[in-house]
Chains A and B, each alone.
Chain A
């Protein structure tokens, strides 16, 4: 799962009307896929990696690039779980909710996060530091329950270990 979290602002460039250089990378991706309409999902993956999430501008840009109606692009972007139309936090904590993780207590981990950090799945803290996400199954069932912290998978998690891991992201509040 690639969740780009670092949304930096790039200096204006003369190459693109919006002045955002990231569109150039997106252009290159579309070109590499020969602007083929069936590569829409790959291109959205890349777009999300570059921009962190799929803002309306990006969807419009992709639609125009691939000569697709915006409704089609929007439909695909909202259909698949991995695409996010909202910005995510700086750090991401993904709790796996596969059956193996669930019977071994992943549900309790979520309850704890709700109580201690006041985050429900899909939410981001007010300061934009941390997002909580759930995954359907990350296929690491042998070490259930598994949690992914900023892309790093850790197995056999407990309420304490999760709290310890996310604490540094929460500042001192």
Chain B
């Protein structure tokens, strides 16, 4: 494959796309509500109506408004349908044929210009919902793999890293470590064999961004990893993906096969001396494997036990070789940064948090789904303007971010802009991007106990503070919920939280008490109300 062939594929694919496209969401959310049947029926109905020449039905990646699926969009008509049932496809076809002439059909028209969409700025998700994730040609038609060509043939590894550094991109897995710096560290390490790992072990309960990116645009991740591999000098990549995401695994496997067949993965990519191959490693259900040293152990086929750092994976990671680990969303941002330049990316967002962030907005909120907003957008804008607030006019009590490692943003602090540092100051964190809205009916002590239950069963058991501490915290919280707790228990709970946080070995234990600490901070009265009198 050379660049001429690549561009030829792009232009022939674009030429073929002259028909009106009916896009059917084929990501996990919509597929779970009969999305597949909708697509099949549409294909049959279009063929039966003799519209095959003009109209094309296309299964695309996540169309973001998951709470209202299955979603179907008719491109030329600027039309979006929500909650489509398989037997409604006839009405969609009728509408296509007779434009507005059809009376009440029971179809629910969505608004493609709804604030939910209008306030988004799609960079990582730019292809999501627009292309067929199972077709490499469609990805190439939108300029796919061009940036990989560009870095291999026109840039030195150093220049690639400078560009990433300039963009100000910080790790989207939650910690927010500067990506450029991480890449530079791995690049500087001596040694022949280096590895690139994509952390797709999205263990946060209540988060599905990584899943959506993998299901909607797998080639974007492969290209991002290949660019990273070139920059740091690695020729082998692993994607560590959760077994709970079978569709993502299937699409990734397909994408790797397609890329290999086109000569875009493997040896001598684009007729250069550069080799890069990607393998998939399927996780087996362990939250701790999101932690990088545990993830590496798991890739090596061992128990996912973390180990103390340093040495960091950048120095000694997979099979003791220098290893670059980034999250799915981080890799998804690489291609646009190379394409538009680091300065362009740095112009979006705020001073210390550049670019955009994808959130999975769920819980007690009117519009649930996937959103990508520039950093600096306030929580209120996300929850109330885009999310439409709590259904039936309820009040937002708290917004939980960061999963079990995060905490709650109370209802009166919704005007906080979303940035790594402001969220940390509130006692929560960006996390990988789950954003769960809770209303007045939610009992915060119960939520804290829910997270502690999660952490105690997910603790790998290697270090005592985490193994025993989380169990003690859980038992204390249970005492509260059963009305058995005393003032001493409250003090004990608080002390224990800090002890577990400060003495645990890895990120899981260090952050396990966060939901308790943050609910104690903002909703202490709820704990006090449960005390035994």
Interface residues of A (CB under 8 A from B): 1-2, 36-42, 44-45, 72, 75-76, 79-83, 97-100, 102-104, 135-144, 146, 152-156
B89 at the interface (CB under 8 A from A): no
Which of B28, B67, B282 sits near A139, CB closer than 8 Å?
A: B28
Output the nearest chain B residue to A43 by Cβ-Cβ distance. B301
Q: Report, as a range, how many residues of chain B touch the other chain.
A: 35 or more
Interface residues of A, dominant DSSP: mixed
B388 at the interface (CB under 8 A from A): no
Q: How far is the CA of A152 from the CA of B29 in the complex (A)?
A: 12
Output the nearest chain A residue to B403 by Cβ-Cβ distance. A99
Beta-carbon contact of A141 and B206 below 8 Å? yes
B198 at the interface (CB under 8 A from A): no
Output the nearest chain A residue to B368 by Cβ-Cβ distance. A142
Residues of A within 8 A of B244 (CB): 1, 82, 135-139
Q: A1-B246, A100-B436, A103-B436 are in contact. Are A79 and B69 (CB under 8 A)?
A: no
B304 at the interface (CB under 8 A from A): yes
Which of A142, A152, A153 sits near B362, CB closer than 8 Å?
A: A142
Residues of B within 8 A of A76 (CB): 301-303
Beta-carbon contact of B206 and A98 below 8 Å? yes
Which of B211, B243, B363 sits near A100, CB closer than 8 Å?
A: B363
Residues of A within 8 A of B368 (CB): 100, 141-144
B400 at the interface (CB under 8 A from A): yes
User: Which of A83, A98, A135, A153 counts the most chain B CB atoms within 10 A?
Assistant: A98
Which of A97, A98, A136, A155 sits near B29, CB closer than 8 Å?
A: A155
Which of B203, B246, B460 sits near A137, CB closer than 8 Å?
A: B203
Beta-carbon contact of B281 and A140 below 8 Å? no
Inter-chain pairs besides A41-B282, A139-B244, A142-B368, 7 sampled, C-beta below 8 Å: A80-B283, A136-B287, A138-B244, A140-B28, A142-B29, A142-B360, A143-B29
Name B331-373 residues within 8 Å CB distance of A.
360, 362-364, 368-370
Q: A2-B246, A81-B284, A139-B202 are in contact. Are A41 and B301 (CB under 8 A)?
A: yes
Residues of A within 8 A of B204 (CB): 137
Output the nearest chain A residue to B319 by Cβ-Cβ distance. A38
Output the nearest chain A residue to B298 by Cβ-Cβ distance. A41
Beta-carbon contact of B33 and A99 below 8 Å? no
Output the nearest chain B residue to A102 by Cβ-Cβ distance. B450
Q: What are 23 A-B pairs with beta-carbon distances under 8 A?
A: A1-B243, A1-B246, A41-B283, A76-B302, A80-B286, A81-B284, A97-B205, A99-B363, A99-B403, A136-B205, A136-B244, A136-B458, A137-B204, A140-B28, A141-B207, A141-B368, A142-B29, A142-B368, A143-B29, A143-B33, A143-B66, A144-B363, A153-B32
A92 to chain B, nearest CB (A): 14
B143 at the interface (CB under 8 A from A): no
A163 to chain B, nearest CB (A): 19
User: Which of B202, B204, B458 counts the most chain A CB atoms within 10 A?
Assistant: B204
B116 to chain A, nearest CB (A): 12
Output the nearest chain A residue to B67 by Cβ-Cβ distance. A142
Output the nearest chain A residue to B29 by Cβ-Cβ distance. A142
Q: How far is the CA of A76 from the CA of B460 in the complex (A)?
A: 12
Name B192-245 residues within 8 Å CB distance of A.
202-208, 211, 243-245
Residues of B within 8 A of A2 (CB): 243, 246
User: Which of A72, A76, A80, A146 counts the most chain B CB atoms within 10 A?
Assistant: A80
Beta-carbon contact of A139 and B245 below 8 Å? yes
Beta-carbon contact of A146 and B32 below 8 Å? yes
Residues of A within 8 A of B245 (CB): 139
Residues of A within 8 A of B302 (CB): 40, 72, 76
Name B258-314 residues within 8 Å CB distance of A.
281-287, 298-304
Residues of A within 8 A of B282 (CB): 41-42, 45
B516 to chain A, nearest CB (A): 15
Residues of A within 8 A of B400 (CB): 99
Name B51-100 residues within 8 Å CB distance of A.
66-67, 69
Beta-carbon contact of B202 and A142 below 8 Å? no
Which of A81, A99, A100, A143 sits near B285, CB closer than 8 Å?
A: A81
Q: How far is the CA of A130 from the CA of B460 in the complex (A)?
A: 29
Q: How far is the CA of A102 from the CA of B447 in the complex (A)?
A: 9
Which of A75, A80, A104, A153 sits near B28, CB closer than 8 Å?
A: A153
Q: How far is the CA of A152 from the CA of B460 in the complex (A)?
A: 30
Beta-carbon contact of A103 and B363 below 8 Å? yes
Residues of A within 8 A of B299 (CB): 38
B442 at the interface (CB under 8 A from A): yes
Residues of A within 8 A of B287 (CB): 136
Beta-carbon contact of A103 and B364 below 8 Å? yes
Q: How far is the CA of A128 from the CA of B303 in the complex (A)?
A: 30
Q: How far is the CA of A39 from the CA of B301 in the complex (A)?
A: 6
Output the nearest chain B residue to A44 by Cβ-Cβ distance. B284
Interface pairs A-B: 10 shortest CB-CB: A142-B66, A80-B284, A99-B206, A81-B285, A153-B32, A139-B208, A100-B362, A98-B205, A40-B301, A38-B301
B523 at the interface (CB under 8 A from A): no
Residues of A within 8 A of B363 (CB): 99-100, 103-104, 144
Beta-carbon contact of A137 and B206 below 8 Å? yes
B256 at the interface (CB under 8 A from A): no
Beta-carbon contact of B442 and A99 below 8 Å? no
A91 to chain B, nearest CB (A): 18
User: Which of B33, B205, B286 counts the most chain A CB atoms within 10 A?
Assistant: B205
Residues of A within 8 A of B283 (CB): 41, 80
Residues of B within 8 A of A37 (CB): 301
Which of B208, B285, B304 sits near A141, CB closer than 8 Å?
A: B208
Residues of A within 8 A of B29 (CB): 140, 142-143, 155
Residues of B within 8 A of A142 (CB): 29, 66-67, 69, 208, 360, 362, 368-370
Q: How far is the CA of A139 from the CA of B245 in the complex (A)?
A: 8
0/1 string, B367-404, CB within 8 A of A gives 1: 01110000000000000000000000000000010010
Q: How far is the CA of A120 from the CA of B213 in the complex (A)?
A: 34
